[in-house]
Homo-oligomer: A and B are copies of this chain.
Amino acid sequence: MSERGLLIVLSGPSGVGKGTVRKAIFDSEENDFQYSISMTTRKMREGEVEGVDYYFRTKEEFEAMIEAGEMLEYAQYVGNYYGTPLSYVNQTLDKGKDVFLEIEVQGAEQVKEQVPDGVFIFLTPPDLAELKSRIVGRGTDDHEVIEERMRVAREEIEMMALYDYAVVNDEVPLAVKRIKEIIASEHFRVDRVIGNYIKMLKEM
């Protein structure tokens, strides 16, 4: 049965290990999705290849694409733009192939607005799962340190609320396994497949 691909968004707080997990997923067996290549205005480095590492564009070209609504998400970092072009993502999804985005939380928020039926996975630091012991367990830290840790934890929990799934990155192979199971399961969601059945019946 033909079915549109899923847009999978992996994000999480900076430093949580998103890139490592994404790489491990793409290096693993039985991965049947497409990594979306980002577009950037930063200079191409030695060894990098256009359309493999990034799509390299000028600032003017990038801004014209933003203006035209052709970016699924984008952000500025150290004076350069980074983002995901919409056209490639849509073409891949239309072919029935899943697209996997590993992006920062700000980008994930933009994608959520444009593609609410994407699969949003929040990678959680292990110290969030062990919140209590991390924050107060040692009992030797002063009030301000504890307050700061609680503020960070609160921020991460607030971010998490926008996502469909929260996966703890305690061990990379475990996180990979969980994410692959989530993607497999999402393909069986009734609201994703029932339309095809109804269409089949109507066409007869």
Interface on A for B, CB 8 Å cutoff?
Answer: 1, 122, 128-129, 131-132, 135-136, 150, 153-154, 157, 160-161, 163-167, 178, 181-182, 184-186, 188-190, 193-194, 197-198, 200-201, 203-204
Pick from B136, B182, B194, B198: contact of A188, CB below 8 A: B182
A167 contacts B181, CB within 8 Å? no
Docked complex Cα distance between A28 and B140 (Å):
47
Bound Cα distance from A188 to B81, whole angstroms: 33
User: In the complex, what residue of chain B is closest to A182 when comparing beta carbons?
Assistant: B185
A204 vs B137: C-alpha distance when bound (angstroms): 11
| Structural contact, A165 and B185, CB atoms closer than 8 A | yes
State the main secondary structure of chain A at its contact with B.
helix
Q: How far is the CA of A191 from the CA of B43 in the complex (A)?
A: 41
With CB as the reference atom, state the residue of chain B lying closest to A129: B1
Contact B160 A190 (CB under 8 A): yes
| Bound Cα distance from A157 to B198, whole angstroms | 8
Q: How far is the CB of A130 from chain B (nearest CB, A)?
A: 9
Complex interface: chain B residues within 8 A of A163 (CB): 190
A17 to chain B, nearest CB (A): 16
Please measure, in the bound complex, the distance between the C-alpha atom of A197 and the C-alpha atom of B131, giving whole angstroms.
8
Tell me how far the C-beta of A142 lies from the nearest C-beta in chain B, rounded to whole angstroms. 15
Cβ-neighbour of A190 out of B128, B129, B164 (below 8 A): B164
CB distance from A204 to the nearest CB of B (A): 6
List, in ascending order, chain B residues with CB within 8 A of A153's CB: 197, 201
Bound CA span A178–B187, Å: 10
Inter-chain contact B181/A185, CB cutoff 8 Å: yes
Asked whether, in the complex, the Cβ of A188 is within 8 Å of the Cβ of B161, the reply is: no
Q: Which residues of B contact A150 (CB under 8 A)?
A: 201, 204
